[in-house]
């Protein structure tokens, strides 16, 4: 896969990730899960260590998914910037 094709792929992935994170239904789902998991964790007994750890892991997983999507967005933006440089160099006869 050549560099431009790879950059274009990263740009497309970033665009899709941005659409997902901005989707109202997915945003609502993330917020609902975070709220439910956090409330369940707060209401669990201190003695129920294993249960609390599982709940906290589920809570953290929601944030991890959001962070992964945000990372794909950043990578897509960087790819877009690199593609612009390549296009500008071609336009100027440098590439």
- Phi-psi group of 21: left, alpha or beta (phi > 0 → left; psi -120 to 50 → alpha; rest → beta): alpha
Summarize pLDDT for 51-76 with one digit per residue, the tens. Answer: 999 999 999 999 999 999 999 999 99
Per-residue pLDDT band at 7 (split at 50, 70, 90): very high
**Contact predicate 64/12, CB 8 Å:** no
Does residue 94 have a pLDDT over 80?
Answer: no
**Average pLDDT estimate for 3-30:** 97
Measured in Å, how far apart are the chain's first and last C-alpha atoms?
18
What are the b/e assignments for 36-52, b being 16+ CB within 10 Å? ebeebbeebeeeeeeeb
**Contact predicate 14/72, CB 8 Å:** yes
Q: Give the ranges where 1-95 is alpha helix by DSSP (H).
A: 3-22, 24-43, 49-91
């Amino acid at each position: 896969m050549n560099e431009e094709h790879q950059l274009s792929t990263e740009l497309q992935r970033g665009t899709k990730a941005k659409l997902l994170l901005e989707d109202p239904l997915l945003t609502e789902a993330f917020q609902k899960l975070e709220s439910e998991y956090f409330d369940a964790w707060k209401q669990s007994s201190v003695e129920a260590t294993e249960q609390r750890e599982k709940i906290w892991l589920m809570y953290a997983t929601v944030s991890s998914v959001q962070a992964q999507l945000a990372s794909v967005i950043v990578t897509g933006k960087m790819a877009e910037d690199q593609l612009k440089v390549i296009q500008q160099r071609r336009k100027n006869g440098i590439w």
